[in-house]
Structure 1
């Protein structure tokens, strides 16, 4: 498991299309910047105008086309330097999506990032816009999602594997064989993957070298200025919390508010982070199994871990046909992990495991497709390619094979349901063969002078353990809000208690009392 932002635009028009209304701009671009401090040489970026218009041209998948057609959404492109040390050099563009504040007493923009790394902020904002439009948040803030460099609608996009190669990679379970021969084969695959990323991505190694969180927060400060905000309001989920605290460290005087939900521990290296994540999934599986065994037809009788292993381990040698594809062990466990992100998906997981006990795998395959963002036509978002590329540029590679084996053993101990029953593999992942050097190191952020952040942490978060939120709140001189639940992130997802606390913080800066908990 180791291999884990109108006033120069004088009018806004509304175009009715097939019963849907889609916001579109006037012919004149909107210029609000520059606002706030502008780093030397970057005036043209910080003061650029945005040409807001329809969002559908920004869609890179059928799912995005559907989401971007919703009422009140408008999209634009932001130009930024590929390399901030060479602002007169190559430029790239970021895709932006906005739903404007619905009230008269607008505070500014609220930038949103859903994490990953590799997930689309445009998709996240599009999905949040409707439910939040009539809330205090939607009335007081423009909701703005951006696709970080290399991701989604941003150009150029990270490209590593074709759709066909991704399908083939998912069907191949060689990584679970710990033999020397398999280690060599896996490392060769990882070496080839890294080379393909450099060959197939526009600007090649230059793009890969300037893809990380270090550059994303600089892009975000450009966006803050272009949107007309003197100070940043930001909501980051999961890996998006890293973007938030890194921005605070890089631009401490430009922060108004930070909501960080589902925190990453800033001190953990890649191995420690993945093992901690495994612990979270292990606990979530136990919660799921307890719920499942309360149902009359649960497929996990007796010891749930053993029962689960008995269902999925045979897939290592005999994958199950699902149409013209096969459900591999990797897909079955990936589908399981996808369902463990929220207890609302537990019934779907139960159905999938029941099907597997009967020799079929369509539900688990659908869950794995959801995780991998594969649409019904067989096309993939570039989320998984971007995940690897960003992780490799953000953190040091893990080269120590003894450390890799030890981490796999620890992962199997804390998440035994994901133990494939094979010897631990010492295979290094793609980051060991990455063609450019990493640009960050794990460390506690230096945020002296930054307003206190609101950190939200869920007690049984499967992907980002609760204690990481405790530690980040302390590191950010912030305040922890505890949510007692079984899901990954919670703010603006329907919990009234959490949403009220977050709204008060974003609107008037009020932090909850120490020890505040929501259920």
Structure 2
């Protein structure tokens, strides 16, 4: 999973406005019909809506297939937190995933950024892409019980029989998606549709132009939108960028190398303590990690939770913690539990958070949406030899995550068995208007590596801001240099100086 923005808010944003002369108010579109907007309270609909008392919610009806409007409709959940001062327009936000709820994100932002320049000058707006979050129909592939069972599978045996079993499970997953959601819906849930839906949201808001802040996969939506609807963008910030020209296997390889780099940073930080479960020699951290987690393939560890810690959950929990140093202490505690034979439950909690499972055992549909969207956003190879070759490269790029040794074979991904064809293919972005886009890329971003942002900024002809750190995305996380720069761009249209580095 590409991951998503987790934290909003900083002292900077709650301070006085840093930019003296805002740009003129964005004019309303004279021929836009906003009649579909039946705004009401979010309280009956959105969990935690009380955090942002001013939040308003609505459902927007769009065609499932824009080329065949009579083939059915989807209903897009939209939330807005109105500007409290001189309104410059709407700031649409997408937190990534794919599969994360922008509605939930904007509700949280509305609370965290109350009184800030952002909330003063912009309506904060989020819409859940079709199939995601509160939108309908909802993408579903597995029941809660089926998802729990899926997570108990180690999927680590790359013998001929093991690969056959993993591929059978992957095909079963794809078949269940088709059965539960329907191929007519699955064929129209990609980024291509999300960009068109976003323009319908713009019309609903009654604005000629939008502002946009996209994190992680949200940068893919933003890139698609500015390439398709360029004149309708006032200002766009893309943080944690995806390179649209990269194929899916290249993206996997680069991402795994990014997670290895983040793991190395974690191991070096951990090694400063004599109690580090990976030891005090960072050069041995990969081997020590494997010693701790490999036994879980055949025997899960006992936890206070009766499910125990499976091998798959230990790996997932580790990846989740590597998104941000703020989560490293939980990874340390979980690995310490494995090392000492005590409860490694922190790793299970990390895995639950990543997979969208709450304490009652219910899952969001984030993972099902993640798979459904990525599988139609690019062609995926079906040749087993291609996957075997990728496995060899990934093991070299990310040895901390490599179980056993390369066997010359590897299972094909779920997307290799997907029941509908892709609707997009990798292609470079076309240049946006000068001063229209700012790309923020983090040097140690594990999920969307730094060079992807460099590449996207070059393709779009946008400004590149480099953030120095080990985390996934950085805007509005409290760095004064970065947040001041983004505020100046969004409010005043001031482009960052060339070569700016923050962090």
TM-score (norm 1): 0.88
> Partner of 2:291 in structure 1?
310
Q: How many residues align?
A: 474
> Partner of 1:101 in structure 2?
83
Structure 2 residue 393 is matched with structure 1 residue 410: yes
| Paired residue secondary structure (2:302) | strand
> Partner of 2:5 in structure 1?
none
- In 2, the alpha carbon distance for the partners of 1:309 and 1:426 equals 19
Contact 2:337 2:344 in 1 (8 A): yes
Which of residues 158, 163, 185 is equivalent to 2:139? 158
Kindly indicate whether structure 1 or structure 2 has the higher relative contact order, using CA contacts under 8 Å at least 6 residues apart.
Answer: 2
Question: RMSD over aligned Cα, in angstroms?
Answer: 1.9
> Partner of 1:396 in structure 2?
379
Structure 2 residue 298 is matched with structure 1 residue 334: no
> Partner of 1:367 in structure 2?
350
> Partner of 1:133 in structure 2?
114
| Map 1:191-202 → 2, pairs under 5 A | 191-201=171-181
Which of residues 2, 23, 29 is equivalent to 1:35? 29
TM-superposed CA distance for 1:469, in Å, is 0.6
> Partner of 2:162 in structure 1?
182
| Paired residue secondary structure (2:235) | strand
Which of residues 443, 454, 468 is equivalent to 2:438? 454
> Partner of 1:209 in structure 2?
187
Structure 2 residue 68 is matched with structure 1 residue 80: no
Structure 2 residue 428 is matched with structure 1 residue 444: yes
The superposition leaves residues 435-486 of structure 1 with CA deviations (integer Å, 9 ceiling, x where unpaired) of: 1110000010123547531000011011110111111111111000011111
- In 2, the alpha carbon distance for the partners of 1:464 and 1:37 equals 39
- In 1, the alpha carbon distance for the partners of 2:443 and 2:481 equals 15
- In 2, the alpha carbon distance for the partners of 1:418 and 1:106 equals 48
- In 1, the alpha carbon distance for the partners of 2:265 and 2:30 equals 48
| Paired residue secondary structure (2:40) | coil
TM-superposed CA distance for 1:253, in Å, is 1.8
> Partner of 1:226 in structure 2?
204
- In 2, the alpha carbon distance for the partners of 1:407 and 1:474 equals 27
TM-superposed CA distance for 1:327, in Å, is 1.1
TM-superposed CA distance for 1:69, in Å, is 4.7
Cα distance change, pair 100–448 in 1 and its aligned pair in 2 (3 A): closer
TM-superposed CA distance for 1:71, in Å, is 2.6
> Partner of 1:6 in structure 2?
none
Contact 1:176 1:422 in 2 (8 A): no
- In 1, the alpha carbon distance for the partners of 2:40 and 2:391 equals 48
> Partner of 1:11 in structure 2?
none
The superposition leaves residues 367-416 of structure 1 with CA deviations (integer Å, 9 ceiling, x where unpaired) of: 00010010010000101001110011111012122221121221121211
Contact 1:470 1:480 in 2 (8 A): yes
Structure 2 residue 329 is matched with structure 1 residue 347: yes
Structure 2 residue 43 is matched with structure 1 residue 56: yes
Contact 2:442 2:473 in 1 (8 A): yes
Contact 1:452 1:476 in 2 (8 A): no
- In 2, the alpha carbon distance for the partners of 1:474 and 1:214 equals 22
Cα distance change, pair 495–90 in 1 and its aligned pair in 2 (3 A): same
Contact 1:56 1:69 in 2 (8 A): no
Which of residues 404, 409, 412 is equivalent to 1:428? 412
Unaligned runs of 5+ in 1: 3-31, 39-45, 60-64
Contact 1:33 1:227 in 2 (8 A): no
TM-superposed CA distance for 1:54, in Å, is 2.2
> Partner of 1:290 in structure 2?
268
Deviates more, 1:301-310 or 1:421-430: 421-430
Contact 2:34 2:206 in 1 (8 A): no
- In 1, the alpha carbon distance for the partners of 2:335 and 2:110 equals 34
- In 2, the alpha carbon distance for the partners of 1:287 and 1:505 equals 32
- In 2, the alpha carbon distance for the partners of 1:409 and 1:155 equals 40
Contact 1:458 1:483 in 2 (8 A): yes
Unaligned runs of 5+ in 2: 3-25
TM-superposed CA distance for 1:88, in Å, is 3.8
Deviates more, 1:259-268 or 1:129-138: 129-138
- In 2, the alpha carbon distance for the partners of 1:518 and 1:33 equals 34
| Paired residue secondary structure (1:58) | coil
| Paired residue secondary structure (2:189) | coil
Structure 2 residue 105 is matched with structure 1 residue 124: yes
Cα distance change, pair 272–68 in 1 and its aligned pair in 2 (3 A): farther
Contact 1:177 1:423 in 2 (8 A): no
Cα distance change, pair 481–455 in 1 and its aligned pair in 2 (3 A): same
TM-superposed CA distance for 1:358, in Å, is 2.2
Contact 1:262 1:464 in 2 (8 A): yes
